[in-house]
Structure 1
Amino acid sequence: MKSLRPAISFSLTGALIALLSFSAAYANPGETEHPKYEFRSSWVTTAWGLDWPSGNDPSSQQQQMINILDQLQDQNMNAIVFQASARGDAYYQSERLPWAYNLTGTPGEDPGWDPLQFVIDEARKRGMEVHAWFNAFTTAYASGNDATESADIPNVRFTNPEWMEHEGWMNPGFPEAREWHVENVLEMVENYDIDAVHFDRIRYPGGAYNRDDSLMSVHNPEDISGIDNWRRYNVTEFVRKVHEGIQDLGVPVKVGVTPIGHYDAGSTDSWGAQLGYNSVYQDSRYWAEQGYIDYIAPQVYWDIGGPDVGEDDPDYTHIVNDWVQNKRNDRHIYVGLAPYKSNIRSELGAQIDTSRTAGADGQLYFRNDNIATSGFSGRYDSKALVPPMPWRNMTEPNRVRDLAYDNAGSEITLSWDKPEPPRGEEDPLYRYLVYRVDRVNVLDDSGVIEDAGNIVAITGEPTFTDQINPDEDGDEFTYYVTTASRNNVEGDFVKVEVTPVSSEDERLVAEEVSLDQNYPNPFNPTTSISFSLPQQSHVTIEIFDVTGRLVETVVDEQKSAGSHSITWDASGNASGVYLYRLRAGNTTESRSMILMK
Structure 2
Amino acid sequence: MADLKKVCNVTFENNFTSVGNGGTIKVNGVQYSSPTSQFQVVEGNTITAEAEYYYHINGINYTFLNWSDGSTSLSHAFSISQHEAIKANYRGKPTNNGEYIHFGTQVGQPIVIYWTDNPNANVTQYQIWRKVKHNGVMGSEQLIATVSRGTGQYTDRDYVLTSGYTDDIIYYDVRGYYSVEGTYSDPDYVSVYGAEPLYKSGLSGKPAEYSIGAYPNPFNPATTIKYQLPERGHVTIKLYDVTGKEVKELVNEIRDSGYYEVELNGKDLSSGVYICTIKANKYNKSIKLMMVK
What TM-score comes out, normalization by structure 2 length? Answer: 0.31
Greater strand proportion: 2
Greater helix proportion: 1
- Structure of greater relative contact order (alpha carbons < 8 Å, 6+ residues apart): 1
What TM-score comes out, normalization by structure 1 length? Answer: 0.16
